[in-house]
Structure 1
Amino acid sequence: MTAAPTYIQVLLPVKLRWIPTYRADMPLQAGRRVCVELGRRRYDGVVWRTLERPDLPPERIQPIVAVQDELPRVTAEELRFWEFLSDYYLCTLGEVYKAAYPLLKLRSEQTAADILARLQQRLARKEEQLAGRHGERVMQRLSAERDALQAQLAACRAQSGSADKPGRPAPGKPLVLTAAGRREAYLPALREALAAGRQALVLTPEIAFCDRLEALLAPEFGQQLLVFHSGKTPVRRRAAAESLRSGSPAIVLGTRSALFLPYRDLGLVVVDEEQDAAYKQTDPAPRYHGRDAAVALAGIHGARVLLGAAVPSLETLLNVRLGKYDLADGPAAAPRAEVIDLAAERRKNGLVGTFSRKLIDAVRRTDGPVVLLRGWEKPEPLQDEIAALFPDRSIRVLTLSALKREGASGAALLAVLQADALVSRDDFRADERAAQIVGTLCQFAPRVIVQTAVPARFDAARGTDALLDERRQFGFPPYTRLVEFRRQGSGEVVERHFLPRDRSLAARKAALAAALPTGTYPDVDPLD
């Protein structure tokens, strides 16, 4: 008697507003990997769910091509995380799957599957040899070789098919750290996670921050520290994924792509520089925010959350106000820079080209390295100005992104020639960005000078409480949620919708997604 077919929905790494249904000859649980056909193309898919009744006539439902047991299963926690990203950021599950398992990652997994197949073939040949007649010494050697192959095979299978661990309730509220030594404060929490046999994630906005944190963490945690970002080779990244999949206690240090790794028992999530705009994915979908996605991932796993920033985002500070987050040691004093008003200096003939006379004097009086940050200035004319004004000094000129990447090499003075260029847009987020930029700069040098045409924007005396009150008065985020419709290709904003931050939010977002104009895409919580 033929067994009744099983009907399953299968996620494919393509943008589909629906989840295709297929037929299988055996029960398949969510997370199993299968090969299927769609539109005459074959795809590596993931079983999303089993259907009691198919949503199509059975004769119209295609069978799967194959079950891919050689590929690791996707965990229940991964699937829940994908669903959160799809629902909140108004994209398809297929787009999330493609981000989580890009082509290079799939090829890397196939390489691991090929290794598994070769081990099985070698073991079969070794068993055939053992079945023959041999002397005692040869039999001992063949037996030892067989045992070694069996051990390798068992290790590979354990990595690709270890059981999901049950989720745990989140241990308290996220904790916000603002003190100067906050990175050192990560260490005891990381030790505690490893001692409990759990895994930890330390997220950074850019590779440069990864490199600096690696210098802090590597001496302490050695081989238990797994660094994961686009600068690492596919082999290194696959090894990190396999280590996590096996359930081994480990610390992952990475950029936002590390959110998609197959954690088995995540006990701690640290988001360093949580205010940094680089956490926001712009293209392609899912256009998620790494900090908010990390907090959601921690909730799925029952993991503790630490958020670190010299000047936290207003979103985080509002959560502190509302009692959703805790602030360690009370509010820290905002980092301060010396502000030079370019308009005032111009009125009193206090400018020499790009430089104010105040900045020229500060550079000449500084004992130690000086780093200048340029904005709109062209490099070649600027170097000519520097050579004329400071003929006896070697001065580094960097952009903000280069500063984050390379550091300031022990600079005694860090000066911004035109700070307004770093804010990029004059919108409701400009004052918040300015405060956060100053906070970032103050981490690189003991003295920071900012030249600006809008001095009030960079004045630390205007605290975050005032900024939050202003946002509430005008109905701007974080008191509302912003959804923009942007034109495909150019990214031009076509429509902006400020939605109430209440129980109606999900329904309102879904209604917006249903009314999306042709040729546009939604961007939830945009930062630029």
Structure 2
Amino acid sequence: MLELADAQHTDRKTLFVEVILPLTIAINYTYRIPYEMNGQVEVGKRVVVQFGKSKIYTAIIAHITEQAPAKYEAKYIMDILDAEPIVNAAQLQFWTWLADYYLCNIGEVMNAALPSALKLASETKIELNKEFEIDRSTLNDREFLIVDALELQPELTVSDIAKLLGQKTVMPILKLMFEKNIIHISEEVNDRYKPRRRTFITLNPVYHNQDQLKELFSILEKRAPKQADAVLAYIQLSRKQKTISKNELIEASGASATAIKGLIEKEVLFAEEKTVSRLIDADDELESNFELSPAQKVALTEIQDGFTQKDVLLLHGVTSSGKTQLYIRLIEQMVNNGKQVLYLLPEIALTTHIVERLRRYFGNSIGVYHSRFNDNERVEVWQKVLTGQYRVVLGARSSVFLPFSDLGLIVVDEEHETSYKQFDPAPRYNARDAAIYLGNMYRAKVLLGSATPSMESFFNAHNGKYGFVQLTERFGGVQMPQIEVVSIAEETKKKTIQSHFTSVLMNDIHTALAAKEQVILFQNRRGYAPVIICKVCAYTPKCINCDVSLTYHKSSGKLHCHYCGYREESPSVCPACGSTQLEYKGFGTEKVEDELKLLLPDARIARMDLDTTRSKNGFQNILNDLDEKRIDILAGTQMVAKGLDFAGVTVIGIISADSLLKYPDFRANERAYQLLAQVSGRAGRRGKQGKVVIQTYDPNHRVIKQVIDNDYVDLYNTEMTERKSFKYPPFYRLIQLDIKHKDPEVLYHQAEYLAKELRKHFDDRVIGPEYPLVGRIRNYFIKSIMMKFEKEGISMPKVKATIREVILQYNTTKLSKGSIVQPDVDPY
């Protein structure tokens, strides 16, 4: 009786939970738990709470206490959504570190970390999943009402559904409908995922009888010989494999799709369309018996030995040295030891390309995670990582937020890439640096790989903070590409340049095409023409929201702003002076593609930039076409520089190197070297030396010489001297504050006030405020304050705490009205 009384007493405890809300608030809010829910409360579970007068949110339990908040009366939570926690303790520790390090709030980290389906709120939009056939007989009354309403009105908010059902808490109902695949979360509407489907062919069981089959052949050979070939090819294929797709049958038999269709209509063959895995076909054979080269074997041993001394190691391997094969061997080792592995890639384009290679080794135990997946897919990956079904995760920067339980290795491929840095919204984190902290938390090893490492990583390896391994020869003995620098000024003078293509580049393109080889052309600007200018009055169309010129896109016939997305019709008459003499200046990838089609009408030309790869499968379609030689020339922005590996590409053309070299940024030389070296590395990767043509107005530039000599160490030494002199990373840490306001006059006073307050604490470490390169974006004027802090003898946690206090104090003044202050730690 006493034990029962104690249990009842425990159930009647008054519990409070501190929760993380997906909002920009500085302190976590505390709620009260109804007695009947005491037994369900756990850290990491989602709860439904009311915040403010009427807004409903999904929050995460961060802490359980019996202590009521001192300053306000705690509201009751409305519901608990999960049977098991969806966020683990390690993730909460990671979120806290990110918020502290990057000077943001933990709610902003939660917003970035969780797929939107896991954080439903009042204004979240819901729509029906059009790819799911709903069996209405399985729906309960409330689900039926919601489906009916969504068929009448394609999109409803959570608040609309609450009004429809006449109840406040609808999150549990929507959670179940989401899990049944009935609804979609509207944040992902634009890029709706379509399952990969294939048509599979089977022979009518009647013809398993030999006599029936002979009779069929005798009829088909007389009346439809192509159909007879198809049936024969089916029988031959069926001896080797369990399933036969329609495409495989067409290829093996040489019959047309019409011939196969005829057999299906005669019911000789049956066709069934099936959804197949995005990652691997169930019957694919896994290949893991590749041989490492002697250089790779040495590097692998050095990495394994290095990990006994250091937890973080930099692998500096030249392009095409076979770094991916080393990653595979290390991943295999970790998976065999029962550990999870995170393989980070900077671009979704690389993710889709490399997963095709990795799937052969890890089959269904590999998950893929990036922002182009819709919410249903991302939640599915989240759950499979949480339950340990996925041992390997391949993903872009957001995959650092997944709920790993036993992480053993993190591979950060192309660790130098700027794509690892999130610029907007907060948290403005760098996934490479976050991965190093994550590795430390889990006691996992971190391998940073690059042919052109970031200065910071090379500095840390040079000083012994990281381990260091080099791989200096290309796999298979392939030579480094031959690089030729061509002066645009010289060719213009001699009149040997055609449009934007020098005679050297055109000759090499013609030679490659004649040999049935492929060409990649790099121009680091998208669009058709960056500027339209009036020849009479020099008028240039500008964005109405930002201080930038509009870029002309021929495909849409409109002028586009690449900062805010504003578009307007391209003028035929100058709105300033009425002149019709409007001229296009500069050129982007769209113009490169257009002019190549005129110069090489028989070549198959494609373009890879943000405009052609907006759809989820846009990258993959272009890469597949290049791999299967349906493209002769691919023109693209820096997307083409990143990790692509195609046997047929022998010529690379860099159309204008100057746009990389003449950029006002302390990292300009480092970035230019990285891009030029990475683009060059796409040439001649399997069995044949490639050719790279660099077109420039400044052929004697130091960085171009370093690229030709493949001399990263010389670049590093010269850059380090300059950075030490001018107080830049890796010797100093940078923190930037952007202050934004719609009135430039008010902004001036706000920025000056903030800079003055910061100088009281940090003296001449505070620089500015100054206008950035683009001083107005989306109608907000911007001023930037830069702070430089030496690495030795200063406590960065104290520095950041002081910056938080200054911003908080500023936000309490009347002067701050209408302004936005955005801190950015390690901004470049």
- The match for 2:572 is none
Higher mean C-alpha deviation, range 294-303 or range 382-391:
382-391
Q: 8 Å contact 2:81–2:172 — kept in the other structure?
A: no
Higher mean C-alpha deviation, range 357-366 or range 264-273:
357-366
Q: Quick check: 1:459 aligned with 2:760?
A: no
Query: Structure 2 CA distance, aligned partners of 1:360 and 1:69?
Result: 62
Higher mean C-alpha deviation, range 392-401 or range 244-253:
392-401
- The match for 1:41 is 55
The structure 2 residue matched to 1:377, chosen from 580, 587, 592, is 587
Query: Structure 2 CA distance, aligned partners of 1:116 and 1:384?
Result: 45
Q: 8 Å contact 1:418–1:451 — kept in the other structure?
A: yes
- Secondary structure of the 1:439 match is helix
Query: Structure 1 CA distance, aligned partners of 2:67 and 2:45?
Result: 20
Q: 8 Å contact 1:91–1:286 — kept in the other structure?
A: yes
Alignment of 1:393-472 (within 5 A): 396-403=633-640, 410-422=648-660, 425-446=663-684, 447-454=691-698, 455-460=701-706, 461=711, 462-472=714-724
Query: Structure 2 CA distance, aligned partners of 1:519 and 1:76?
Result: 32
Higher mean C-alpha deviation, range 325-334 or range 491-500:
325-334
Alignment of 1:133-172 (within 5 A): 172=310
Q: How many residues align?
A: 476
Q: Quick check: 1:92 aligned with 2:344?
A: no
- Secondary structure of the 2:98 match is helix
- Secondary structure of the 1:458 match is helix
Q: Quick check: 1:474 aligned with 2:720?
A: no
Query: Structure 2 CA distance, aligned partners of 1:501 and 1:275?
Result: 21
Higher mean C-alpha deviation, range 236-245 or range 186-195:
236-245
- The match for 1:524 is 825
- The match for 1:485 is 737
In the TM superposition, residue 97 of structure 1 has moved relative to its aligned partner by 0.8
C-alpha offsets along residues 365-393 of structure 1, whole Å, 9 cap, x if unaligned?
44432232234514576457546765775
- The match for 2:22 is 13
In the TM superposition, residue 173 of structure 1 has moved relative to its aligned partner by 2.3
- The match for 1:501 is 791
Instruction: Specify every segment of 5 or more residues in structure 2 that has no aligned partner in the other structure, as ranges.
Output: 1-8, 121-125, 127-170, 181-306, 475-479, 526-585, 606-632, 685-690, 741-777, 811-818
- Secondary structure of the 2:649 match is coil
Q: Quick check: 1:317 aligned with 2:455?
A: no
Amino acid in the other structure paired with 1:500? E
Alignment of 1:160-239 (within 5 A): 172-179=310-317, 180-239=321-380
Q: Quick check: 1:510 aligned with 2:801?
A: yes
Instruction: Specify every segment of 5 or more residues in structure 1 that has no aligned partner in the other structure, as ranges.
Output: 119-168
**Residue 452 and residue 21 in structure 1: after superposition, are their counterparts in 2 closer, same or farther (change >3 A)?**
same
In the TM superposition, residue 335 of structure 1 has moved relative to its aligned partner by 8.3
Q: 8 Å contact 2:593–2:635 — kept in the other structure?
A: no
Query: Structure 1 CA distance, aligned partners of 2:178 and 2:597?
Result: 62
In the TM superposition, residue 238 of structure 1 has moved relative to its aligned partner by 2.5
Query: Structure 1 CA distance, aligned partners of 2:60 and 2:729?
Result: 36
Query: Structure 2 CA distance, aligned partners of 1:434 and 1:41?
Result: 48
Query: Structure 1 CA distance, aligned partners of 2:32 and 2:796?
Result: 37
**Residue 326 and residue 338 in structure 1: after superposition, are their counterparts in 2 closer, same or farther (change >3 A)?**
farther
Query: Structure 2 CA distance, aligned partners of 1:458 and 1:175?
Result: 28
Higher mean C-alpha deviation, range 345-354 or range 274-283:
345-354
**Residue 388 and residue 113 in structure 1: after superposition, are their counterparts in 2 closer, same or farther (change >3 A)?**
closer
Query: Structure 2 CA distance, aligned partners of 1:63 and 1:41?
Result: 14
In the TM superposition, residue 60 of structure 1 has moved relative to its aligned partner by 1.8
Query: Structure 1 CA distance, aligned partners of 2:783 and 2:377?
Result: 39
C-alpha offsets along residues 121-176 of structure 1, whole Å, 9 cap, x if unaligned?
xxxxxxxxxxxxxxxxxxxxxxxxxxxxxxxxxxxxxxxxxxxxxxxx99832122
Amino acid in the other structure paired with 1:496? M
C-alpha offsets along residues 430-474 of structure 1, whole Å, 9 cap, x if unaligned?
001011102321332132222223432333244323222321222
In the TM superposition, residue 282 of structure 1 has moved relative to its aligned partner by 1.3
C-alpha offsets along residues 89-148 of structure 1, whole Å, 9 cap, x if unaligned?
111000001111242344699689628999xxxxxxxxxxxxxxxxxxxxxxxxxxxxxx
In the TM superposition, residue 476 of structure 1 has moved relative to its aligned partner by 0.6
**Residue 507 and residue 199 in structure 1: after superposition, are their counterparts in 2 closer, same or farther (change >3 A)?**
same
Structure 1 vs Structure 2 CA RMSD: 3.3
Query: Structure 2 CA distance, aligned partners of 1:88 and 1:449?
Result: 43
Query: Structure 2 CA distance, aligned partners of 1:199 and 1:330?
Result: 26
Q: 8 Å contact 1:33–1:71 — kept in the other structure?
A: no
In the TM superposition, residue 422 of structure 1 has moved relative to its aligned partner by 4.5
Amino acid in the other structure paired with 1:78? Q
In the TM superposition, residue 400 of structure 1 has moved relative to its aligned partner by 1.7
Q: Which structure would you say has the larger Rg?
A: 2
Query: Structure 2 CA distance, aligned partners of 1:379 and 1:81?
Result: 40
Query: Structure 1 CA distance, aligned partners of 2:380 and 2:789?
Result: 43
TM-score normalised to the size of structure 1?
Answer: 0.80
- The match for 1:355 is 501
C-alpha offsets along residues 462-492 of structure 1, whole Å, 9 cap, x if unaligned?
4323222321222111221221122445584
Q: Which has the higher contact order (CA 8 A, sep 6+)?
A: 1
The structure 1 residue matched to 2:31, chosen from 22, 30, 51, is 22
Q: 8 Å contact 2:651–2:683 — kept in the other structure?
A: yes
Query: Structure 2 CA distance, aligned partners of 1:222 and 1:91?
Result: 39
C-alpha offsets along residues 206-228 of structure 1, whole Å, 9 cap, x if unaligned?
11111221122111111111111
- Secondary structure of the 1:44 match is strand
Query: Structure 2 CA distance, aligned partners of 1:434 and 1:260?
Result: 31
- The match for 1:164 is none
Higher mean C-alpha deviation, range 461-470 or range 260-269:
461-470
Q: 8 Å contact 2:48–2:79 — kept in the other structure?
A: yes
In the TM superposition, residue 279 of structure 1 has moved relative to its aligned partner by 0.9
C-alpha offsets along residues 51-83 of structure 1, whole Å, 9 cap, x if unaligned?
5644425x7222222333336342011101101
Q: Quick check: 1:72 aligned with 2:85?
A: yes
Query: Structure 2 CA distance, aligned partners of 1:380 and 1:22?
Result: 55
- Secondary structure of the 1:499 match is strand
Q: 8 Å contact 2:734–2:827 — kept in the other structure?
A: yes
The structure 1 residue matched to 2:405, chosen from 264, 269, 273, is 264
- The match for 1:326 is 467
- Secondary structure of the 1:466 match is helix
**Residue 404 and residue 357 in structure 1: after superposition, are their counterparts in 2 closer, same or farther (change >3 A)?**
closer
**Residue 224 and residue 239 in structure 1: after superposition, are their counterparts in 2 closer, same or farther (change >3 A)?**
same
Amino acid in the other structure paired with 2:17? I
**Residue 267 and residue 249 in structure 1: after superposition, are their counterparts in 2 closer, same or farther (change >3 A)?**
farther
Query: Structure 1 CA distance, aligned partners of 2:481 and 2:62?
Result: 48
Query: Structure 1 CA distance, aligned partners of 2:76 and 2:347?
Result: 43
In the TM superposition, residue 84 of structure 1 has moved relative to its aligned partner by 1.2
In the TM superposition, residue 509 of structure 1 has moved relative to its aligned partner by 2.5
